[in-house]
A and B are shown apart, each in its own frame.
Chain A
Amino acid sequence: MGKWGMGAAIETHGLTKDYRSPVKEPGLRGGVKALFNRKYKDTRAVDSIDFRIEAGELVGFLGANGAGKTTTLKMLSGLLTPTSGEALALGHVPWRREADFQRKISLVMGQRSQLWWELPAQETLRLNQAIYDLDEIDFRRNSDELVDLLDLGEHLSVPVKKLSLGERMRAELAAALLHRPSLLLLDEPTIGLDVVMQKKVREFIKAYNIRSGATIMLTSHNMTDVVELCKRVIVIDKGRILYDGALDLLVRRYADYKILRARFSTSVSAEDFRALGTVVGSGENSVTLEIPRSRVAASAAALLRSYPVSDMNVEEVAIDDIVRRLFSQT
């Protein structure tokens, strides 16, 4: 046992995953060659990662596309067997896929649906009630609570194909959480949603974490998700952990600014904005600035006061930029 700590929800040691993919030489000749003598290339998607997540934590798993986030979640949910290394989730080896373990977890992948397309989501909930063996009282209590938290109302009784993407995502969450999993793995829960829906989903995740005390691990390439939800983040790039620690510290060190984009009704010169922040892009009547977090409000006000602004918005730093900065310092 030795290396395994007590009571962690998730713990990994040297977790590694290689993918094997066929390599094809270009052109018809390559195609014919591949028919008889296929060559493979191993790609290391996750490279010996170690981390530990305590019960009840809500941890953000950040990285660019292809960094290894989803692969890690798939290993922790038992879908993938690692090439080497070990992991325990809720005290189980995930890839043994024991029913006991499966009843306590849920994996939600933003773009893959478990809902029955032609029927109301209510029917999928009924099916999950049977799959997870919930009695009528638990089923009622859990589904009422989820309908309330997710603001689903009558959407559950409309055929899924008639729902908007945002409504469908929330119905998806209801189906995934009906059995009150104590470990929730969310892969890009806000992908493809509009800003209002993203906010709703985020508020729900936070509320669920507080109410149920569940451990939640979520991947995102959207910094806003993480800033609003997680105290702790793990940043991963090319399969390796670049940072594991408090979000505050990460933000202070590598993302101490926000991005302000403004459009004007007349032409402007980039030079004029140097006093407000770092100019990272400009056009004839637009400018993009990096502004220190503490001065965002003041700078935006100054901009509105002194220039004919036609459109303006303030965004979180892109995750790719944080990764780039982290990378250049490690």
Chain B
Amino acid sequence: MRKYLVAYSIALQETLQRRSTLLMDRLGGLAIVVSLYSFWSALLGDQPSFLGYTRAEMLTYVLAINILRSFVFTGRGWLLVGDISSGRISSYLVRPVSYHGYALALDLAQKTVHLASSLVETSLLVLAVSGNLFLPKDPATWILFAVAALLSSLIFFFLEMLVSSLAFWTSESGGPLFCFELFLQFAAGAFFPLDVLPAGLRRLLAATPFPYMVFFPARVFLEKVPPSEALRLLSIEAAWLLAVVLAARWVWGLGVKSYAAEGG
């Protein structure tokens, strides 16, 4: 366990060391929030609500996306793709350390910094729009939201490990990961609440882990999911996490075996 704590602390230092990368990441995230906000404001116009979302709820959804993006969408997929294609992966495979555990420690460090930064940004934005927000009063909502967000973030991490492991077989290793990330943001509800989609598409997405990653936690926060339903969905989310962890480990095992057979 200690090795992963040390990896976490080193990665934390490194993330802080790369100040300009961090700043760019955060500015990019803010640009998305501002454009989503302007977009939804324009759609709402003078109406009190649109597709079941009031102005305050929509604004809250957009701000929640900023926090969730920072916390959920920070996998270490590109690290793995890079390590495989450069051969650096070898240096982990000969040391007594689990790559998934190591990458997760690195990812948690990244999440810590991004979460802290997004909380500060979001607070500033809240002050800027002065109070026109939906804030849940029930403390249980906050807890449910936090648990849902934590699970989503782990699902995202292991999905990225799963997809990036394809780099063990393909030489154009970045391709699958790039497509995956783009599709995921859409399917997770990171651009708009998924209930604006046609019913057929919504049902299709409901059978995947994606809606649990942004859409579900955000709706929990907006108290649009009754508590009993929220618990049911949380357990489905936990089951997805388990499935994704197992799949990622299985593909990883195959990948390492093929790496060992084919050579790097």
Contacts and interface: CB of A to CB of B under 8 A. Distances in A.
Contacts of B132: none
Interface in A93-117: 95, 97, 99, 102-103, 105-107, 109, 112-114, 116
B96 A123 contact: no
Nearest to B260: A81
A97 B97 CA distance: 11
Nearest to B91: A114
B6 interface: yes
A43 to B, nearest CB: 10
A119 interface: yes
Interface string A16-27: 010110000000
Interface in B1-41: 2-3, 5-7, 10, 13-14, 17-18
Contact of A74 (B3, B86, B95, B263): B263
A80 B262 CA distance: 8
A329 B6 CA distance: 56
Main secondary structure of the interface of A (DSSP, over half): mixed
Interface residues of A, number: 36
Given A112-B90, A130-B6, A80 B260 contact: yes
Nearest to B1: A130
B90 A107 contact: yes
Contact of B88 (A105, A113, A126, A159): A113
Please tell me the size bucket of the interface on B: 20 to 34
B53 to A, nearest CB: 42
A156 to B, nearest CB: 14
Contacts of A112: 86-88, 90-91
A118 B17 CA distance: 7
A270 B130 CA distance: 91
B94 interface: yes
17 contacts: A19-B262, A20-B262, A80-B260, A81-B257, A102-B95, A105-B94, A109-B91, A113-B88, A114-B91, A116-B14, A123-B10, A128-B95, A130-B5, A131-B3, A131-B96, A132-B95, A159-B17
Interface of B: 2-3, 5-7, 10, 13-14, 17-18, 86-88, 90-91, 93-97, 257, 259-264
